[in-house]
Chain A
Amino acid sequence: MEPLLEVKNLLMAFGGLLAIDGLDLTVNENEIVALIGPNGAGKTTLFNCITGIHKPTGGDIFINISNKKHYRINGLKPHKITESGMARTFQNIRLFPNMTVLENVMIGRHCRSHAGVAGAVLRNGKTRKEEKNIVEYCYNLLEKIELDPFVNEQAKNLPYGVQRRLEIVRAMATDPFLLLLDEPAAGMNNQETKELDALINKIRDEENIAILLIEHDMKLVMSLAEKIVVMDYGKKIAQGTPEEIKSNPVVIKAYLGEEDDT
């Protein structure tokens, strides 16, 4: 079976700094892949390249949607990439602070709806129906993730953990086949992290969305991921199952050696 996402020999240079240096990565259907590595390893930069925020300096990024084989997405605009089925969250939460929770999620539906200026002004049957569908779709999604009590709350007034979850729901509203989560557990307490663990598993099992996540919380990574990719200085230094990674001397030297809690 073809992998959903295939990154081949990716290069990303900022001036003289090679933030990503010949990286290969694959994510298969229904897989949870974790990307780990010390600070400044280039993990977020990889996400930015995949989602079109940066244009990679070299290499290829392919996605394989069921019938379109090998669809190269290098240098596409971010909204095109989201439209093709990959959605992300951000390391430092980027919600729309003055919009309500529902409206935040409704923005996720933008690329799956069509109403234009004329539709907005005339508010004809088609537009009204589309709008109603968007609202219902988003509310159902919020209900599934148990955020429905906050539906009319402004995003900026939410507790931190809820904001992180809302960002995931907003990304899910774009109807992706792959979710890219950038440190979803950052700043969460134990209880919230446990809930997040369950949530990510639920998204994968019930919605059939593959997941690529960056995370520093080793306990979460070990329990969630089926495959772990370790990066350092823009290079992939190891890849394997959690057990393999735990005992890999290269990884321990580069990364786990610095941590005491593994």
Chain B
Amino acid sequence: MREIIKSFTVSIWFMFLTFPIMVIKVNTIEKTIEWRWERLIFVGIGSFFLSFLWRYLITRKESGIKKAEAGEEIKQPLSQRFFEDRRLFFPALGGVIILTVTFPLFFSSYQTNIMTNALMYVMLGLGLNIVVGLAGLLDLGYVAFYAVGAYCYALLNYHFGIGFWAVLPIAAAMGALFGILLGFPVLRLRGDYLAIVTLGFGEMIRLILENWNKFSFGPSGIANIPRPTFFGYQFSFDHSFIYIYYLMISLTILTIFVVNRLQNSRIGRAWIALREDEIACQAMGIDIRKTKLTAFALGATWAGMVGVVFAAKTTFVNPASFTFMESAIILSLIVLGGMGSIIGVILGAFIFILLPEYLRAIEEYRMLVFGAAMVVMMVFRPQGLISNIRRTYEFRSSKKQ
């Protein structure tokens, strides 16, 4: 009953707040005011139900926490059961592989292009995930490394005619180098301060590209960047989309492979320890300078590589593609999918990039919907869609009886 009264007050408050924009409409031509009272009722009922639902979900969540604290058996999360049950996991994996490989055969090059896009964000997400998800360093300027990769290809090709494949490793190295360059000044920073400095770094790179006309051709950018070749063979316009798609698939698989190995290694453990507690981490003999720098470098490498693919795919780069918005999207898809979890990041990237493409209806409200989704996520599932599963070990007890 109290809940109902609370929701009722909320709805009254909302009706009051939205009154000027929802109800009053000034007809500027006839100079009259229209009163649309029926809208008031919709707002009232709508906000009443939303607020009620919200309260219900909150109480449910809290009772769940209480249960867990009381030590009652909690069900393993669905995702974890899914990955542990091999009869379910392998057919699903097979299905995904077949679908991705045959995708261009069944769908138009437009669709393939969208998929390529999503895969690029998967790779970017996995790269940033090393820095944010594993090492716990909030980096808001990740797009800078993406820009470095793209301009690396554009400029090297423009001046020296170097091809896609030769630039790919160069861009990866440049990404790593810039990662370290960013890493040094922020070694001592944490939390909010780190976020602001990295944000500044991202904007700085973009502003340099925009204003240093002699070097980067300013806002007009660089055009006519060649698409990638296949052992010297140049594909036709349509086929090159498919080629880039397969290329992106291979790069994504490479990324998943490497990131997975990294996170289950001595270095990956050090990153996670750094995220968990910086002071304990150094007191346990971990060089946090080195650990942070490797995280920045290895995270930025992937952005550098995706940057090259981006330049090759659009055949044109200009600074407008590398705004803070991109960093925000990459960060949000990690948060949405689940920080520190590879599968989570992949899922997050697909949801974030594909959903707006296929749900054109919500396009105008895209940012609104994402905003709302993020708020709901933070309240009900702060660990993301798929939480990071710690590796377990089996032991035979070697105790003497």
With known contacts A99-B390, A140-B398, A120–B282 Cβ distance under 8 A? no
B280 touches A96 (CB 8 A): yes
Q: How far is the CA of A88 from the CA of B281 in the complex (A)?
A: 11
Q: How far is the CA of A74 from the CA of B276 in the complex (A)?
A: 27
B288 touches A79 (CB 8 A): yes
Q: How far is the CB of B46 from chain A (nearest CB, A)?
A: 39
Instruction: Confirm or deny: A219 has a beta carbon within 8 angstroms of a beta carbon on chain B.
Output: no
Instruction: Confirm or deny: B105 has a beta carbon within 8 angstroms of a beta carbon on chain A.
Output: no
Which residues of chain B from 235 to 269 have any CB-CB distance to chain A below 8 Å in the complex? 258, 261-262, 265-269
Which residues of chain A from 1 to 36 have any CB-CB distance to chain B below 8 Å in the complex? none
B267 touches A98 (CB 8 A): no
Give the nearest-CB partner of B395 in chain A: A139
Instruction: Confirm or deny: B312 has a beta carbon within 8 angstroms of a beta carbon on chain A.
Output: no
* Most interface-central of B261, B283, B294, B390 (chain A CB within 10 A): B283
Q: With a CB–CB cut-off of 8 A, which chain A residues contact B232?
A: none
A174 touches B265 (CB 8 A): no
With an 8 Å Cβ cutoff, the count of chain A residues facing the other chain is 48
A123 touches B286 (CB 8 A): no
Q: How far is the CA of A130 from the CA of B284 in the complex (A)?
A: 18
Which residues of chain B from 351 to 401 have any CB-CB distance to chain A below 8 Å in the complex? 388, 390-393, 395, 397-399
Chain A, interface SS category: helix
B285, B390, B393: the one within 8 Å of A111 (CB): B285
B286 touches A148 (CB 8 A): no
Contacts beyond the supplied A77-B282, A90-B280, A127-B265: 10 A-B pairs with Cβ under 8 Å? A97-B277, A98-B272, A98-B388, A103-B272, A103-B390, A107-B281, A107-B286, A117-B298, A120-B268, A121-B262
A110 touches B284 (CB 8 A): yes
Instruction: Confirm or deny: A236 has a beta carbon within 8 angstroms of a beta carbon on chain B.
Output: no
Interface size class of B (residues with CB under 8 A): 20 to 34
With known contacts A82-B283, A107-B281, A113–B266 Cβ distance under 8 A? yes
Instruction: Confirm or deny: A116 has a beta carbon within 8 angstroms of a beta carbon on chain B.
Output: yes
With known contacts A117-B298, A140-B398, A111–B267 Cβ distance under 8 A? no
Q: With a CB–CB cut-off of 8 A, which chain A residues contact B388?
A: 98
B270 touches A121 (CB 8 A): no
Chain B, interface SS category: helix
Give the nearest-CB partner of A139 in chain B: B395
A79, A123, A151, A152: the one within 8 Å of B285 (CB): A79
Q: With a CB–CB cut-off of 8 A, which chain B residues contact A134?
A: 266
Q: With a CB–CB cut-off of 8 A, which chain A residues contact B288?
A: 79
Q: With a CB–CB cut-off of 8 A, which chain A residues contact B397?
A: 143, 148
7 residue pairs of the A-B complex, CB under 8 angstroms, read A53-B282, A96-B280, A98-B272, A110-B270, A116-B267, A120-B266, A143-B397
Give the nearest-CB partner of B276 in chain A: A96
Instruction: Confirm or deny: B287 has a beta carbon within 8 angstroms of a beta carbon on chain A.
Output: yes
Instruction: Confirm or deny: A154 has a beta carbon within 8 angstroms of a beta carbon on chain B.
Output: yes
B390 touches A98 (CB 8 A): yes
Instruction: Confirm or deny: A78 has a beta carbon within 8 angstroms of a beta carbon on chain B.
Output: yes
A111 touches B395 (CB 8 A): no
Residues of A within 8 A of B (CB): 51, 53, 77-79, 82-83, 87-88, 90, 94-100, 102-103, 106-108, 110-113, 115-117, 119-121, 123, 127, 130-131, 134-135, 139-140, 143, 148, 151-152, 154, 170-171, 174
B284 touches A100 (CB 8 A): no
B393 touches A152 (CB 8 A): yes
A106 touches B269 (CB 8 A): yes
Q: With a CB–CB cut-off of 8 A, which chain A residues contact B285?
A: 79, 82-83, 87, 108, 110-112, 174
A77, A97, A115, A148: the one within 8 Å of B267 (CB): A115
Closest 7 CB pairs of A and B: A111-B285, A120-B265, A82-B285, A96-B276, A94-B280, A152-B392, A78-B282
Q: How far is the CB of B41 from chain A (nearest CB, A)?
A: 48
Q: How far is the CB of A55 from chain B (nearest CB, A)?
A: 13
Q: How far is the CA of A143 from the CA of B395 in the complex (A)?
A: 11
Q: With a CB–CB cut-off of 8 A, which chain A residues contact B283?
A: 51, 53, 78, 82, 87-88, 90, 94
